[in-house]
Amino acid sequence: MNHLPARLAALTATAAAVALIVSGCSAGGGSTQSSSSKTLVVDNTFDLKTSDPARAFELTGSIVDKALYETALTFEGSDVTKPVPQLTTYTMSDDNKTITLTLNGKHVFSSGNPVTIDDIVWSYKRVQGIAGNPSFLLTNLSTGKPFAIEKTSDTTMTITDTAANPALPFILPNPSLGVLDEKTLEQHGGTTDKTDSAEQYLNGTSAGSGPYELSSYNATSKVVFKLNPKYVGTKPAFGRVVLNNVTGPSQKTDVQGNQAQLALNLNSQQVSGLESGSIKVAKFTSSNLGYLWLNQNASVSGGVTNQPDFVKAVRHAIDYKSLQTIAGTGSTQPGGMVPSQFLGSLASDENNTTDSAAAKSDLQSSGYKGQTITLSYPTDATLDGVSFADMAQSVQSNLESAGVKVKLNGLPIATLLDSFRAGKLQAGLMYWGPDFPDPSDYVTFSPGEGLGLRAGWTKDMSPSVTKAKEAAIAAQGDARASAYEAWQKAANADGAFVPLLQAARYQVTNGVSGNVPNAIWTVDLATVE
Amino acid sequence: MTAVQLPRRRALRVPVAWRRPAAIAGSVVLLAWVLVALLDPLLGLQDPLQQSVGDAFRAPSAAHPFGTDALGRDVLSRTLWGVRSSLPLAVALVAGSLVVGSVLGAVAGYLGGAVDEVIMRIADLVFAFPTIILAMVVAAALGPSLLNAVVALLVVSWPNYARVMRSLVLGARGQEYVVAGRLLGAGPFTSLRRDVLPNVSAPMLVLAMLDFGNQILLLAGLSFLGLGAVPPTPEWGSMVADGVTQFSSWWLATFPGLAIFSVVVAFNLIGDSLRDALDPRTAGAVQGSSI
Amino acid sequence: MRYIAIRLGLSVVLLIGVTIITFVLTNLVPASPVTAALGERAAGDPKIVAAYKAAQGLDKPLPVQYFVYLGHLLQGNLGTSIGTRNPVTQDLAYAFPATAELAIFAIVIAVVVGLVLALVAALRRNRLSDQLIRAVSVVGISVPTFWLAVAAYFLFFFVLHWVPGSGRLSAIYDAPPRVTGFFTIDALLAGEPDVFADAFAHLVLPGLVLAVYTLGLLVRFARSSILDVLNQDHVRAARAKGLPAHRVITAYLLRGALLPILTIVGLAFGSLLSGAVLTEQVFAWGGIGQYAYRASTSLDLPSIMGVGLIVGLVYITVNFVIDVIYGFVDPRVRVG
Amino acid sequence: MSGLDIRGLTLELGGRRILDGVDVEVPAGQVTGLAGESGSGKTMTGLAVIGLAPAGAKVSGTVAYDDGEVRVPDLLALRPGAMNRLRGRRIAMVFQDPTASLQPMLSVGTQLTDHMRHHLHLSRSAARTRAAELLERVRVPSPEAALKRYPHQFSGGQLQRIAFAIAIACEPKVLIADEPTTALDVTVQAGVLRLLRELTDDLGLAVLLVTHDLGVMSAVADTVAVMRNGSVVEHGSRFQIITDPQTAYAKELVESLPHTPPPGTGEGEA
């Protein structure tokens, strides 16, 4: 072939180049800034499954439901140690078994219906009846018996547990116990038993008395809120809120470019050097607690992890400071399983200290003979942005320096949870997020209790821990704190769980304020201004 | 339709292929990686597993030419050790799919009939899935580990070999010498082994060579998704994944990514040259591979 | 007609095969999807677990579960996703157009640019431009898609700020009223140029990243099939007629090379979907790829089945369309 | 003189000299045969004349063209664009295998009209009318219907007639026919050759007939040039070459070439 096609070749090449340049150029002109000052954009990494409070029990779900629904009681700002009235005021009975709720002024649903005692009773019974994720909130955690919920007058109702339960007022602020508009929901398939079919409706239209209404909802990309005109509280500063599903790295650039005014999921690496001008970084310690478990079941433990001295060796071998370095400044090592913010938390414990000499001697006396232990961890979950893989590798390296052979076993959290819940994993890393800010949420980390059993820690083991646990549950009033401390000390001395880390969390804002970190619902969108 | 003319016992024209600059470049890169894999312990690198959390996320410097990762490990040494995960497993994977696919394809092509139908319909079924989605389900079912990722990819990669093998066998089956062999009393498998396989081995080898790059990419892709390599093993795909969440530390993803790229390019250059050296008509059959 | 009927029949068999494979595979998983879906506390409560199993039909034996699934399938019901709590059809109706928009953008870029490059390379065989284009093609098929996605995202978004971040649309915009599910097209239909510009800007980078592998693949094959045709007499005959070069190339040369190229485009579509899994993961695209990843790691059986079905359906449709185009382009097939 | 005058045509490809000073005159109204065995350079001569030598080929010498209206002292010196205006318009070519030289995916009508519309600026309908006339001229049955059909729907002989129709469509003065009957059944060869002779006489074409088949030569050629190793070793009248070859090579060739080669053995020629 000669000249002729060559010319055409040159021509087509030019055309291709032009096409590329055109597409390249148009790429630049995309993002424009919103002119509306009324819209608040919040970046969050979604774990959203539903916005139906009786079914939601994820972090994003709590943010959403907090904005849409009011609860009987609530917490003020970050302070989760003192329940305060919202829809109702409360009194506890002397035996701590019954809480009496009394309507607190006038609240109105977005439909215009007033909030009545019947709505609260119905909403609570619905949580119990449809047996969704949060239904345990209204159940006795030891016996599995649902609380008795009764309307006692047009303005009062009672919730009664079978045993003394001082945590009752701490449970009720949970956004999963948001109060729904019974009359509206009953028209859309809402019931208080398993036949309930209102979830679809709630994922399109909210039915609450909270500051916002649902404007649009997509569980994988974004949730948009608009003002609830019937809300009786202080009108929020922003008329429209967009909660956007964005990964960490993009959250950073979003805030920098003021594409988002609030970012909730940046980790320490990402926030370093970010603070400047209108960009503010609020740092606080997460109440999610990362822990290590060692299975006590003889047949799962490989004869290693159930040796008390081996457990001790592990506790001393771990370099807790390294973990904190990985997690970034602001992270802490909790003394026990109760997070540092809550009543009864331990500042530190002599059993959980880095001491390589002690680790070596404990290992020697445990009879460890070089067996490899398998350390499982979730690959697709983080402890507030800290990768479990990093933590696991750090722990592995610590243990290997102490002379323990460790094989890592990263699993998708679904697979991990399944085996963990069946008590089949020898050792591993997991975390616990608070269901309600009371130490009684944590007694599950005891022999024979739910979490204890996952680590093969059965009722007949560690009687000292069981005794301390029972004392803690039974304790009333001011005695509770020290009773829970004692329980954790016992568990640290002879237990299957090693509390490792509470990571630092960051809320990064650009030009807004009023975002108050909260351990239960992360942030109340209505207070941002 | 005329059958593809296959000269009897045609050897792969390897010397011809090796004279091409592309093949030389590819071989040099590949050889360098093989040497690195063999000599890793002697290169005076830092321990790829040695953590130093205080030195996390250090940018490239004289001490750490490729920087350090989240646990303060040396990215250079992890990248160079990473070849030990990728190369041997890719070889195992390609060899595995070559053997499984060839056997099934040969059986299907040679026996025909119901056996052919069943094997090829299963191949169709596997083809109907994008490789990585099926591999993802298999890997998730088996649990993450590099070996399971290899198994998962084996499940999805044999049909390509089976198809090509089947068409080559079909082409060769009609050749006079094969027919003559059958007439002289050679059983189906004897004839397959003696008369057919030697003639299809060259294109199959080229196919395997061209497939190497793909398989390395897929293997790394599964690791990237967290369904392959298990930490702390240095592996390129998972190293890139580490870099995804840490954009300010660009070196985390860049260097292992370049490593994958260099190996895949090397294999593709060699594979291309081999294919070009092969009879262009049979080479056509060899082209149909997909990620 | 009979041919079409047979093909359709085979497609149905193939689809059923797809459902069986996914069903068996996901049930081979050692973990059960039940606990995966339930929270920490809820999973410890046998009553909640039982209620959940009954609601999902997981209390029945496996074959029964499968036939129940098929029964629902016939009514267009793919079940409810364990992960998102939505009907799978609804999830797919959102995720599929997302991926389709991305994939179509990528394939159009890859085909147009790929054909032009292949043509230039073939016409200038063994010259510098040919060598360069072949090098580009080898690079295209050798670069790990996920790494390219990360690198491109880092460079063009994080450093240069040329493109907006991840996702399909900036937070300040609402998705345009849904007609096709393609944000760009829907925005145009709704007359929202801002939204269109934003959606398009989001599309460009992941689209180009996704196009790279397909582009490399296409250049490689198109070049060799154009070279094949170039050596055929009818191209020489056309040139002997003194036709202008563009006419020779479009009417004679490209038409002749079209069939093998079409086959490759069909193949490439499959690899595009694979690439989409990785690309979507990096760009948080919210399409089938990300959905499939979430579903397979969280053992979300109904979702995985849904993805399997839709992907199988796409595969069958693409092949069918290509067959039809074959018939359309090649008179020998059309009449025979 | 009217027709083609090829002087000292040389062609080098990849360092190999394929044509080494070819001298042939192709006068109007005559069929000039170019004979020789495979690799002797006959086909390349045809391609070089029409400007379609392979990429990278170095061509020298002169090819003078003259048809009374247009005179080109040297076709080889023309710029590509100018040459392209002559191709198909003044100089046409017919190839060996009609099933390969027609685009299988374009209708006969399209392939018969596109260059007419380009060179002669005919309208679509005018071109189609003329196309039908041309098909009638080359005796393809039911021309109107044939225009709508595709190459695979015709026999080889008919396709070659169509190829001739395409070649003469723009009333060229020179026709290069490269083994036009080799790929055809023996039974239809004679018809096609008759057509070639007829066209030569009726249209006053200067025909360069490239073939290795002396049977074909003896049927239609006026003069025959024998080629060997890239140059013409003997050029004389058909009668003289067949009955009384002067050079040893021509003699050898006449004796060795089969008069009627078996059909369908069209091996590619250089």
Domain chopping of chain D, boundaries: 1-90+173-270, 102-171
Least confident span in A247-251, C42-46, C157-161, C219-223 = C42-46
Dihedral sign, Cα of residue C122, residue C124, residue C129, residue C131: positive
Residue C5 pLDDT grade (very low, low, confident, very high; cuts 50, 70, 90): confident
Look up the CATH number of the domain holding residue A411.
3.10.105.10
Tell the burial category of A263 from Cβ atoms under 10 Å away from its Cβ (0-12, 13-18, 19+).
Answer: buried
pLDDT of residue B181: 65
Find tokens 């305060």 and name the residue: A84
Contact A415 B246 (CB under 8 A): no
Minimum CA–CA partner of A3 in chain D:
D80
- The pLDDT assigned to A415 comes to 78
User: What is the number of domains present in chain A?
Assistant: 2
* pLDDT the model gives residue A227: 93
Q: Which residues of chain B lie closer than 8 angstroms to A392, CB-CB?
A: 231
User: Are residues C61 and C193 both part of a single domain?
Assistant: no
Tell me: pLDDT of B272 over 90: no
C241 versus A64: which is more confidently predicted? Answer: A64
Give the domain extent around C111. 96-297
Say if the Cβ atoms of C146 and B221 lie within 8 Å: yes
pLDDT at B186: 61
Give B34→chain A minimum CA distance, Å.
Answer: 27
Residue B77 lies in a domain: yes
The answer to whether the peptide bond before residue A439 is cis (omega within 30 degrees of 0) is no
Q: Give A216 to chain D, closest Cα distance, Å.
A: 53
Predicted local distance difference test score (pLDDT) of residue B194: 67
Q: What is the pLDDT of residues C49-79, one digit of tens each?
A: 777 777 777 777 778 888 888 888 888 788 8
Query: Which comes out higher in pLDDT, residue A273 or B13?
Result: A273
Q: What is the mean pLDDT of residues D15-20?
A: 85
Q: Which of A249, A267, A322 is facing B53, going by the closest CB pair?
A: A322
> Token digits for A185?
């929901």
Which run of H or of E encompasses D25? Answer: strand D16-27
The secondary element (H helix, E strand) that includes residue D6 is strand D3-13
Q: Is C326 helix (H, G, I), strand (E, B) or coil?
A: helix
CATH code, A127: 3.40.190.10
Chain B neighbours among C 214-233 (CB < 8 Å)?
217, 220-221, 224
Task: For residue A330, give both structure tokens.
Answer: 């602001």
The domain total for chain B is 1
In this structure, is residue B3 part of a structural domain? no
Say if D and C touch: at least 3 Cβ pairs within 8 Å.
yes
Size of interface A-B (CB pairs under 8 A): 62
What is the percentage of chain D residues whose pLDDT exceeds 90?
A: 1
Question: Long-range contact list for A120-124, CB < 8 A, 24+ apart?
Answer: A120/A72, A120/A87, A120/A88, A120/A157, A120/A179, A121/A149, A121/A150, A121/A151, A121/A157, A122/A180, A122/A182, A122/A192, A123/A53, A123/A54, A123/A177, A123/A178, A123/A179, A123/A180, A123/A182, A124/A149, A124/A159, A124/A177
> Is residue C85 in some structural domain?
no
Instruction: For residues C149-167, give the mean pLDDT.
Output: 82
Q: Higher pLDDT residue, C297 or A54?
A: A54
Nearest Cα residue in chain C from B266: C142
Residues A241, A314, single domain; the answer is no
Q: Which CATH number fits the domain that encloses residue C220?
A: 1.10.3720.10
State how far residue A413 is from chain B, nearest Cα, in angstroms: 11
> What's the pLDDT score for residue A36?
39
Q: Quick one: tokens of A363?
A: 């290992």
Which of B226, B245, B246 shows the shortest C-beta gap to A410?
B226
What contacts A186, CB < 8 A, 6 or more positions away?
none
Chains in touch with B (≥3 Cβ pairs < 8 A): A, C
Q: How confident is the model at residue B70 (pLDDT cuts 50, 70, 90)?
A: confident
CATH of the domain at B160: 1.10.3720.10
Chain B CB contacts of A268 below 8 Å: none
Q: Give D200 or B245, the one with higher predicted confidence.
A: D200
Cα separation, A64 vs A216, whole angstroms: 12
Chain D, window 176-205: residues with a beta carbon less than 8 angstroms from a chain C beta carbon: none
* Residue C261 sits in the same domain as residue C131: yes
The answer on C70 and C146 residing in a single domain is: no
Q: Identify the three-state secondary structure at position A509.
A: strand
pLDDT tens-place string over residues D180-224: 888 788 788 888 888 888 888 888 888 999 888 777 888 888 898
Residues of B in contact with C292 (CB under 8 A): 133, 136
| Closest Cβ opposite residue C233 in set D55, D84, D101 | D101
Q: D244-265 pLDDT, tens per residue? A: 888 888 888 777 665 544 443 3
Question: Min CA distance, A247 vs chain B (Å)?
Answer: 8
* Residue in D95, D119, D150 nearest the CB of C237: D95
Residues A258 and A332 in one domain: no
Write out residues 52-71 of C within 8 Å (CB-CB) of B: none
User: Which CATH number, 3.40.50.720, 1.10.287.70, 3.40.50.300, 3.20.20.70, labels domain D1-90+173-270?
Assistant: 3.40.50.300
Within a domain: C181? yes
On the question of pLDDT at D14 being above 90, the answer is no
**Domain total of chain C:** 2
Give a yes or no: residue B42 inside a domain. no
Distance from CA of B169 to the nearest CA of C (A): 22
How close is the nearest chain D Cα to the Cα of A379, in Å? 55
User: Cβ of B246 under 8 Å from any chain A Cβ?
Assistant: yes
pLDDT of residue A114: 94
Q: Which residues form the domain of B259?
A: 24-34+66-280
Among residues A359, A280, A285, A284, the alpha carbon closest in space to that of A317 is found at A359
Tokens at residue D139, please?
């005796």
Kindly tell me if the per-residue pLDDT of B205 is higher than 70.
yes
How many helices (H) and strands (E) chain C has is answered by: 16, 0
Place of tokens 């009681």: A73
For residues D205-243, one letter each, b for 16 or more C-beta atoms within 10 angstroms of the residue's C-beta and e for the rest, the string is bbbbbbbbbbbbbbbbbbbbbbbbebbbbbbbebeebbe
Residue C120 to residue A12, Cβ atoms within 8 A? yes
Number of Cα atoms under 13 Å in the Cβ half of residue C173 = 25
Q: Show the tokens assigned to B265.
A: 């390019």
How many Å lie between the alpha carbon of A84 and the closest alpha carbon of chain B? 39
Burial status of residue D78 (CB atoms within 10 A of its CB: 0-12, 13-18, 19 or more): middle
The tens place of each residue's pLDDT in chain A, 529 residues long, gives 344 344 444 444 444 444 444 443 333 333 333 333 488 999 998 888 889 999 888 889 999 999 999 999 999 988 888 899 999 999 999 888 999 999 998 999 999 999 999 999 999 999 998 888 888 899 888 788 899 999 999 999 999 999 888 889 999 999 999 999 999 999 999 899 888 989 889 998 889 999 999 998 888 778 999 999 999 989 999 999 999 888 777 788 788 878 889 999 888 878 888 888 899 999 888 889 999 999 999 899 888 888 889 999 999 999 999 999 888 888 899 999 999 988 889 988 888 999 989 999 999 898 888 899 999 998 878 888 888 999 999 999 999 999 999 999 888 787 788 788 888 899 999 999 888 889 998 999 999 888 899 999 999 998 999 999 999 988 888 899 999 999 999 999 988 999 999 988 899 999 898 888 888 898 999 999 8
The β-bridge relationship of strands D174-178 and A240-245 is unpaired
* pLDDT average, residue stretch C139-152: 88
C193 CB neighbour count, 10 Å cutoff:
10
Best C13, C25, C126, C146 member to test B by mutation, with max B CBs in 10 Å, is: C146
Quick check: C93 contacting A, CB < 8 Å?
no
Residue B6 lies in a domain: no
Global pTM reads 0.80
As beta bridge partners, residue A290 has A431, A501
Query: What band does C276 get if pLDDT is binned at 50, 70 and 90?
Result: confident
Contact D53 A3 (CB under 8 A): no
Structural domain includes residue C312: no
With a cut of 90, say whether residue C307 has pLDDT above it.
no
**Closest-CA residue in chain B for A251?**
B245
Looking at the complex, report in whole angstroms how far the Cα of residue A17 sits from the nearest Cα belonging to chain D: 26
| Higher per-residue pLDDT: B278 or D63 | D63
CA distance A192 to chain C (A): 14
Residue D231 DSSP SS3:
strand
Q: For residue C40, give the nearest of A289, A294, A493, B97 by alpha carbon.
A: A289
What's the pLDDT score for residue A16?
Answer: 44
Q: Check contact B-D (3+ Cβ pairs < 8 Å).
A: no
* B145, part of any domain: yes
CB contact under 8 A, C335 and D102: no
Hey, are the CB atoms on C143 and B261 less than 8 Å from each other? yes
Name the DSSP class of D233. Answer: E
The stretch C197-214 carries a mean pLDDT of 90
Chain A neighbours (≥3 Cβ pairs under 8 A) are B, C, D
- D55–A4: do the CB atoms touch at under 8 Å? no
Out of A1, A247, A435, name the one closest to residue C166 (CB): A247
Q: What 3-state DSSP class applies to D16?
A: strand
A245 contacts C171? CB cut-off 8 A? no
Enumerate the residues of chain B whose CB falls inside 8 A of the CB of residue C144.
217, 220-221, 224, 237, 240, 257, 260-261, 264
Smallest CA–CA distance from A393 into chain B, residue: B232
> Who has greater pLDDT, C139 or C324?
C139
Closest residue in D to A1 (Cα) is: D55
Q: Which of C94, C123, C197 sits opposite A9 (nearest CB)?
A: C123
With CB atoms and an 8 Å threshold, state whether C255 touches D103.
yes
User: Percent of chain C having pLDDT more than 90?
Assistant: 7
Clarify whether residues C69 and C102 are in a common domain: no
3-class secondary structure per residue, A68-126: HCCCCEEEECCEEEEEEECCEEEEECCCCCEEEEEECCCCECCCCCECCHHHHHHHHHH
* Residue contact D87–C244, C-beta within 8 A: no
Domain assignment present for residue C323? The answer is no
Q: Residue A194 carries which DSSP code?
A: T
Q: Do C277 and B127 touch (CB under 8 A)?
A: no
Instruction: Write out the residue range of the structural domain in which residue A329 sits.
Output: 287-504
CA distance B191 to D38: 39
What's the gap in Å between the CA of B259 and the closest CA on chain C? Answer: 10
Task: Tell me which residue has tokens 């081995």.
Answer: B201
Residue of D213, D217, D153, D209 lying closest to D183 (CA atoms): D213
Q: What is the DSSP letter of C248?
A: I
Q: Using an 8 Å CB-CB cutoff, list residues of chain A that contact chain B.
A: 247-249, 252, 267, 269-270, 272, 322, 325-326, 379-380, 387, 389-390, 392-394, 396-397, 408-412, 415
Which of B119, B122, B224, B239 would you mutate first to test chain C, the one with the most C CBs within 10 A? B224
- pLDDT for the residue B189: 66
